[in-house]
Protein backbone atom coordinates (compact mmCIF):
# COMPACT_ATOMS: atom_id res chain seq x y z
CA UNK A 1 0.00 0.00 0.00
CA UNK A 2 1.23 3.48 -0.89
CA UNK A 3 2.30 5.54 2.13
CA UNK A 4 0.06 8.41 1.06
CA UNK A 5 -2.99 6.14 0.88
CA UNK A 6 -2.18 4.84 4.36
CA UNK A 7 -1.97 8.42 5.67
CA UNK A 8 -5.34 9.21 4.12
CA UNK A 9 -6.97 6.17 5.69
CA UNK A 10 -5.45 7.06 9.06
CA UNK A 11 -6.84 10.59 8.76
CA UNK A 12 -10.34 9.22 8.22
CA UNK A 13 -9.96 6.63 10.98
CA UNK A 14 -8.34 8.88 13.57
CA UNK A 15 -10.87 11.68 13.08
CA UNK A 16 -13.77 9.33 13.74
CA UNK A 17 -12.01 7.52 16.59
CA UNK A 18 -11.04 10.68 18.49
CA UNK A 19 -14.45 12.30 18.07
CA UNK A 20 -16.06 9.04 19.18
CA UNK A 21 -13.92 9.09 22.31
CA UNK A 22 -14.92 12.68 23.01
CA UNK A 23 -18.63 11.96 22.60
CA UNK A 24 -18.28 8.92 24.85
CA UNK A 25 -17.45 11.29 27.69
CA UNK A 26 -21.10 12.38 27.63
CA UNK A 27 -22.30 8.88 28.61
CA UNK A 28 -24.29 9.35 31.81
CA UNK A 29 -23.99 13.14 31.62
CA UNK A 30 -26.38 14.10 28.81
CA UNK A 31 -28.95 16.87 29.40
CA UNK A 32 -31.80 14.32 29.24
CA UNK A 33 -31.78 10.52 28.97
CA UNK A 34 -32.87 10.44 25.31
CA UNK A 35 -30.02 12.72 24.20
CA UNK A 36 -27.56 10.91 26.47
CA UNK A 37 -28.36 7.67 24.61
CA UNK A 38 -28.36 9.38 21.19
CA UNK A 39 -24.94 10.98 21.57
CA UNK A 40 -23.49 7.73 22.92
CA UNK A 41 -24.86 5.85 19.92
CA UNK A 42 -23.25 8.39 17.60
CA UNK A 43 -19.97 7.81 19.45
CA UNK A 44 -20.30 4.07 18.83
CA UNK A 45 -21.07 4.65 15.14
CA UNK A 46 -17.90 6.71 14.75
CA UNK A 47 -15.72 4.21 16.61
CA UNK A 48 -17.19 1.42 14.49
CA UNK A 49 -16.33 3.35 11.33
CA UNK A 50 -12.79 3.90 12.60
CA UNK A 51 -12.41 0.18 13.22
CA UNK A 52 -13.30 -0.55 9.60
CA UNK A 53 -10.45 1.68 8.44
CA UNK A 54 -7.98 0.30 10.98
CA UNK A 55 -8.95 -3.25 10.03
CA UNK A 56 -8.28 -2.46 6.37
CA UNK A 57 -4.77 -1.29 7.22
CA UNK A 58 -4.22 -4.23 9.57
CA UNK A 59 -5.18 -6.72 6.88
CA UNK A 60 -2.68 -5.16 4.47
CA UNK A 61 0.15 -4.84 6.98
CA UNK A 62 -0.46 -8.09 8.82
CA UNK A 63 -0.80 -6.65 12.31
CA UNK A 64 -3.57 -6.29 14.90
CA UNK A 65 -5.97 -3.40 14.25
CA UNK A 66 -5.53 -2.22 17.86
CA UNK A 67 -1.95 -1.23 17.06
CA UNK A 68 -3.19 1.91 15.30
CA UNK A 69 -5.39 3.58 17.96
CA UNK A 70 -3.70 2.11 21.04
CA UNK A 71 0.04 2.21 20.40
CA UNK A 72 0.81 5.26 18.28
CA UNK A 73 2.10 8.47 19.83
CA UNK A 74 0.40 11.86 19.46
CA UNK A 75 2.42 13.02 16.45
CA UNK A 76 1.43 9.89 14.52
CA UNK A 77 -2.27 10.71 14.70
CA UNK A 78 -3.84 12.41 11.68
CA UNK A 79 -7.24 13.48 13.02
CA UNK A 80 -8.48 16.98 12.26
CA UNK A 81 -8.11 19.41 15.17
CA UNK A 82 -11.86 19.90 15.53
CA UNK A 83 -12.40 16.36 16.78
CA UNK A 84 -10.07 16.63 19.78
CA UNK A 85 -11.54 19.84 21.21
CA UNK A 86 -13.15 19.52 24.68
CA UNK A 87 -16.88 18.90 24.93
CA UNK A 88 -17.60 22.12 26.82
CA UNK A 89 -21.36 22.49 27.32
CA UNK A 90 -24.07 20.86 25.21
CA UNK A 91 -24.07 23.77 22.75
CA UNK A 92 -20.30 23.46 22.21
CA UNK A 93 -20.61 19.72 21.62
CA UNK A 94 -23.49 20.12 19.19
CA UNK A 95 -21.72 22.83 17.19
CA UNK A 96 -18.54 20.74 17.00
CA UNK A 97 -20.61 17.77 15.88
CA UNK A 98 -22.55 19.74 13.29
CA UNK A 99 -19.41 21.18 11.70
CA UNK A 100 -17.87 17.72 11.54
CA UNK A 101 -21.07 16.15 10.20
CA UNK A 102 -21.31 18.66 7.35
CA UNK A 103 -17.78 17.73 6.29
CA UNK A 104 -18.05 14.02 7.05
CA UNK A 105 -21.29 13.33 5.20
CA UNK A 106 -20.20 14.93 1.92
CA UNK A 107 -16.70 13.46 2.21
CA UNK A 108 -18.27 10.00 2.49
CA UNK A 109 -20.62 10.79 -0.38
CA UNK A 110 -17.65 11.45 -2.63
CA UNK A 111 -15.87 8.33 -1.41
CA UNK A 112 -18.78 6.03 -2.29
CA UNK A 113 -17.41 6.18 -5.85
CA UNK A 114 -13.82 5.55 -4.77
CA UNK A 115 -11.53 3.58 -7.05
CA UNK A 116 -10.52 1.69 -3.90
CA UNK A 117 -13.25 -0.93 -3.56
CA UNK A 118 -12.84 -1.38 0.19
CA UNK A 119 -13.01 2.35 0.94
CA UNK A 120 -16.05 2.62 -1.31
CA UNK A 121 -17.75 -0.17 0.64
CA UNK A 122 -16.96 1.48 3.98
CA UNK A 123 -18.33 4.80 2.72
CA UNK A 124 -21.55 3.23 1.42
CA UNK A 125 -22.15 1.60 4.79
CA UNK A 126 -21.15 4.60 6.89
CA UNK A 127 -23.01 7.30 4.98
CA UNK A 128 -26.33 5.88 6.23
CA UNK A 129 -25.25 6.54 9.82
CA UNK A 130 -23.68 9.87 8.89
CA UNK A 131 -26.97 11.05 7.38
CA UNK A 132 -28.65 10.56 10.76
CA UNK A 133 -25.77 12.30 12.56
CA UNK A 134 -26.11 15.35 10.30
CA UNK A 135 -29.87 15.49 10.82
CA UNK A 136 -29.49 15.15 14.60
CA UNK A 137 -26.85 17.84 15.04
CA UNK A 138 -28.47 20.21 12.55
CA UNK A 139 -31.83 20.03 14.30
CA UNK A 140 -30.18 20.74 17.65
CA UNK A 141 -28.31 23.76 16.26
CA UNK A 142 -31.64 25.20 15.09
CA UNK A 143 -33.45 24.29 18.31
CA UNK A 144 -30.84 25.99 20.49
CA UNK A 145 -29.97 28.87 18.18
CA UNK A 146 -33.59 29.87 17.62
CA UNK A 147 -34.67 28.98 21.15
CA UNK A 148 -34.41 31.00 24.33
CA UNK A 149 -32.13 33.98 24.78
CA UNK A 150 -29.77 31.86 26.88
CA UNK A 151 -29.66 28.93 24.44
CA UNK A 152 -29.06 31.35 21.56
CA UNK A 153 -26.14 32.96 23.39
CA UNK A 154 -24.57 29.58 24.18
CA UNK A 155 -25.00 28.37 20.62
CA UNK A 156 -23.46 31.57 19.26
CA UNK A 157 -20.53 31.15 21.65
CA UNK A 158 -20.18 27.53 20.51
CA UNK A 159 -20.06 28.67 16.89
CA UNK A 160 -17.38 31.25 17.66
CA UNK A 161 -15.35 28.66 19.57
CA UNK A 162 -15.50 25.97 16.89
CA UNK A 163 -15.44 27.95 13.64
CA UNK A 164 -11.66 28.32 13.94
CA UNK A 165 -11.35 24.60 13.09
CA UNK A 166 -13.69 24.72 10.09
CA UNK A 167 -11.22 25.61 7.35
CA UNK A 168 -8.82 22.74 8.07
CA UNK A 169 -11.51 20.25 7.08
CA UNK A 170 -11.47 21.49 3.49
CA UNK A 171 -7.77 22.27 3.03
CA UNK A 172 -6.27 19.13 1.46
CA UNK A 173 -2.76 18.09 2.47
CA UNK A 174 -0.39 16.21 0.19
CA UNK A 175 -1.70 12.72 0.81
CA UNK A 176 -5.27 13.87 0.13
CA UNK A 177 -4.18 15.49 -3.13
CA UNK A 178 -2.50 12.20 -4.09
CA UNK A 179 -5.65 10.22 -3.29
CA UNK A 180 -7.79 12.61 -5.31
CA UNK A 181 -5.46 12.17 -8.30
CA UNK A 182 -6.14 8.42 -8.06
CA UNK A 183 -9.92 8.92 -7.65
CA UNK A 184 -9.75 7.40 -4.18
CA UNK A 185 -11.66 10.28 -2.60
CA UNK A 186 -14.16 12.84 -3.85
CA UNK A 187 -13.65 16.27 -5.39
CA UNK A 188 -12.55 18.65 -2.62
CA UNK A 189 -14.21 21.67 -4.21
CA UNK A 190 -17.54 19.85 -4.50
CA UNK A 191 -17.29 18.55 -0.92
CA UNK A 192 -16.65 22.06 0.37
CA UNK A 193 -19.43 23.55 -1.78
CA UNK A 194 -22.05 21.08 -0.57
CA UNK A 195 -20.92 21.11 3.05
CA UNK A 196 -20.80 24.90 3.20
CA UNK A 197 -24.26 25.19 1.65
CA UNK A 198 -25.68 22.89 4.32
CA UNK A 199 -23.75 24.64 7.08
CA UNK A 200 -24.81 28.14 6.04
CA UNK A 201 -28.45 27.11 5.61
CA UNK A 202 -28.72 25.69 9.12
CA UNK A 203 -26.78 28.55 10.72
CA UNK A 204 -29.14 31.04 9.04
CA UNK A 205 -32.25 29.14 10.19
CA UNK A 206 -30.79 29.03 13.70
CA UNK A 207 -30.49 32.86 13.63
CA UNK A 208 -26.76 32.61 14.36
CA UNK A 209 -24.02 34.82 12.95
CA UNK A 210 -20.79 33.46 11.48
CA UNK A 211 -17.87 35.65 12.62
CA UNK A 212 -16.49 37.79 9.79
CA UNK A 213 -12.94 37.26 11.03
CA UNK A 214 -11.38 34.38 12.94
CA UNK A 215 -8.02 32.66 13.23
CA UNK A 216 -8.16 29.46 11.19
CA UNK A 217 -6.24 26.65 12.87
CA UNK A 218 -4.75 23.68 11.08
CA UNK A 219 -2.10 21.00 11.45
CA UNK A 220 -3.96 17.97 12.75
CA UNK A 221 -3.86 16.19 9.39
CA UNK A 222 -0.07 16.43 9.51
CA UNK A 223 0.33 15.40 13.15
CA UNK A 224 0.45 18.85 14.76
CA UNK A 225 -2.15 18.76 17.51
CA UNK A 226 -3.51 20.81 20.39
CA UNK A 227 -2.65 19.87 23.95
CA UNK A 228 -6.01 18.11 24.27
CA UNK A 229 -5.14 15.06 22.19
CA UNK A 230 -2.44 13.92 24.58
CA UNK A 231 -4.93 13.72 27.44
CA UNK A 232 -7.39 11.74 25.31
CA UNK A 233 -4.67 9.23 24.38
CA UNK A 234 -3.49 8.99 27.99
CA UNK A 235 -6.93 7.67 28.94
CA UNK A 236 -7.57 5.66 25.78
CA UNK A 237 -4.20 3.92 25.65
CA UNK A 238 -3.54 3.36 29.35
CA UNK A 239 -4.25 -0.37 29.52
CA UNK A 240 -2.21 -1.27 26.44
CA UNK A 241 0.66 0.95 27.58
CA UNK A 242 0.64 -0.43 31.12
CA UNK A 243 0.07 -4.06 30.12
CA UNK A 244 1.43 -4.60 26.58
CA UNK A 245 -0.31 -7.37 24.70
CA UNK A 246 -3.15 -7.57 27.22
CA UNK A 247 -6.13 -9.57 25.96
CA UNK A 248 -9.60 -9.94 27.50
Q: Report pLDDT digits (tens) over 53-109.
A: 999 999 999 999 999 999 999 999 999 999 999 999 999 999 999 999 999 999 999
Average pLDDT, integer, range 21-29? 91
Mean pLDDT in residue range 202-214: 96
- In a domain, residue 105? The reply is yes
Average pLDDT over residues 143-147: 97
* pLDDT for res 1: 80
Report the number of distinct structural domains present in the chain: 1
What per-residue confidence (pLDDT) applies to 36?
84
Q: Is there a domain that residue 154 lies in?
A: yes
Q: Which of 21, 18, 126, 123 is nearest to 77 (CA)?
A: 18
Nearest Cα neighbor of 228 from 102, 94, 97, 88 is 88
Domain contains 247: no
Residue 248 lies in a domain: no
pLDDT of residue 247: 74
In tens, the pLDDT along 104-140 reads 999 999 999 999 999 999 999 999 999 999 999 999 9
Structural domain of residue 53, as residue ranges? 3-242
Residue 213 lies in a domain: yes
Q: Which residues fall within 8 angstroms of residue 18, CB to CB, at 6 or more apart? A: 77, 79, 83, 84, 229, 232
* Mean pLDDT, the chain, integer: 96
What gap in Å lies between CA 175 and CA 193, rounded to an integer? Answer: 21
CATH of the domain at 215: 1.20.1260.10
Q: How far is CA 204 from CA 99, 142, 161, 210, 221, in A?
A: 14, 9, 18, 9, 29
pLDDT in the model for residue 30: 77
Position 140 in a domain? yes
Q: Phi and psi dihedrals of 189, rounded to 5? A: -65, -40
| pLDDT computed for residue 231 by the predictor | 96
What is the average per-residue pLDDT within 208-233? Answer: 96
pLDDT score of 241 more than 90: no
Q: Tell me whether residue 215 is in a domain.
A: yes
In a domain, 37, yes or no: yes
Task: Indicate the pLDDT class of residue 192, thresholds 50, 70 and 90.
Answer: very high
Confidence at residue 157, expressed as pLDDT on a 0 to 100 scale: 98
Amino acid sequence: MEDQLKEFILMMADSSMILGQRLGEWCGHGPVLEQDIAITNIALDLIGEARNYYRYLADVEGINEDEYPMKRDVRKFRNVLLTEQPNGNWADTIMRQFIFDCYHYYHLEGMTESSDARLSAIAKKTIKESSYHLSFSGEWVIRLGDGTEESHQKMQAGLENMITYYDELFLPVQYEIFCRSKNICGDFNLIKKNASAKFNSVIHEATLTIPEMYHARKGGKSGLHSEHLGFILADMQFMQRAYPGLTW
